[in-house]
Structure 1
Amino acid sequence: MSVSKNLPVYKRIIQEGWRKAALKEFLSKYLERAGFHDVKLVETSLREIITIYVERPGIVIGKSGKLSKKLTDVLKERFGFENPYIRAEKVEEPFLSARIIAHFIASRIMRGEKHRRVAFMAI
């Protein structure tokens, strides 16, 4: 799924868009517990820098970086990255992210808390 350099510009832009959308969808499912917010992809000549914005970056990194190494291997395999470098950054204001708030509300309701109380806590 790597983006070919010899394609016309418009096809390369479309291919990069598809790749980023697929990456965002995959990471939102893979990092649901970490409070996934967004992903930023920067390609340099040496490596692809993937910045993942999450509520809890420790879950992305894991013990001794094991989960980030596993994620790196998965990204190489599924998305064709040659040398991905993963950076996990904390979201500055997590309660301004609709995705994080929706996950917060859903997890609290699934735990059995009352829906009105959860909604007022989220506001």
Structure 2
Amino acid sequence: MGQKVHPVSFRIGYTKTWSSLWYADKKNFGKYLHEDLQIRKHVLKSFQQAAISKVEIERASEKVRVNLHTARPGVIIGRKGADIDRLREELQTVIGNKEVHINIREIKNPALDAQLVSENIALQLEKRIAFRRAMKKAIQQAMDAGGKGMKVQTKGRLAGAEIARSEGYSEGKVPLQTLRADIDYGFAEALTTYGKIGVKVWIYKGEIMKKAETRAPKKEVEIVEEKPAGEKPAEEALHASHA
């Protein structure tokens, strides 16, 4: 059986970017990486109901910028910005009193965000909603929101079965091997009384064309035949022979 490569890591450097945007030497690399893991863990644990899809971290000198992609920015900001100020102070304590800036980036269409869709399906499974119904509903919402294609896969003891299995549904097209394809991928786990159920979501939003690939129209090239030096044109040679 062939295995599927991660759609995001497969396209990094082409249509996708890293979640951590910074450079460090060998001495500080492990330290910064550990801090990033602590930041993401703390943010996701503190705001479990905020529908956070992605946490981007940028570094410049002793400053750390955290970009939170969320469908519910009001939950993070809080009343008069109280919650976001508290989060900033907590992160400064976690990473050693460095200057922390937090930016909130709202997700306009949650139905096309694969991570949020997978978490939503997992939440429905925890509430004992039928897994087929949850998958079909998510696919329909994504297609209605403008998606070109979508695939959902659930794996585990579905509906309390004795033997774990995987089931999936798809609609439209999901070109996994096309680098210019804008494919979003998300994964979540549902904690049920029968054990964990994994949920994977692929959403195809269309193709991303780079500027370099936007080709100019072809121009017609006129081919001029060069004659060796001293050779006369055919008409002049014909007149010379008659003379």
Q: Give TM-score, length-normalised by structure 1.
A: 0.76
Q: What is the aligned length? A: 116
Is residue 29 from structure 1 mapped to residue 45 from structure 2 by the alignment?
yes
- Conserved 8 A contact 2:38-2:94: no
- Conserved 8 A contact 2:62-2:98: no
- The structure with the largest helix share of the pair is 1
Distance 1:10 1:100, change over 3 A: same
CA distance in 2, matches of 1:71, 1:33: 15
CA distance in 2, matches of 1:29, 1:96: 23
- What is the CA distance between 1:84 and its match in structure 2? 1.4
- What is the CA distance between 1:101 and its match in structure 2? 1.8
Q: Give TM-score, length-normalised by structure 2.
A: 0.42
Is residue 59 from structure 1 mapped to residue 75 from structure 2 by the alignment?
yes
CA distance in 1, matches of 2:54, 2:97: 19
CA distance in 1, matches of 2:125, 2:74: 24
- Larger relative contact order (C-alpha < 8 A, sep ≥ 6)? 1
Matches within 5 A, 1:45-56: 47-56=63-72
- What is the CA distance between 1:112 and its match in structure 2? 4.4
- The structure with the largest strand share of the pair is 2
Q: Which residue of 1 aligns with 2:36?
A: 20
User: How far does the alpha carbon of each residue in 1:13-54 deviate from its partner, in whole angstroms, 9 at most, with x for none?
Assistant: 222122112212222222221111222222345743211111
Distance 1:46 1:19, change over 3 A: closer
Letter aligned with residue 115 of structure 1: F
Deviates more, 1:24-33 or 1:70-79: 24-33
Q: Among 126, 135, 140, which residue is 1:119 paired with?
A: 135
**5+ residue gaps, structure 2:** 1-23, 140-243
CA distance in 2, matches of 1:47, 1:9: 17
Is residue 41 from structure 1 mapped to residue 41 from structure 2 by the alignment?
no
> Which of structures 1 and 2 has the bigger CA Rg?
2
Identical pairs, percent:
21
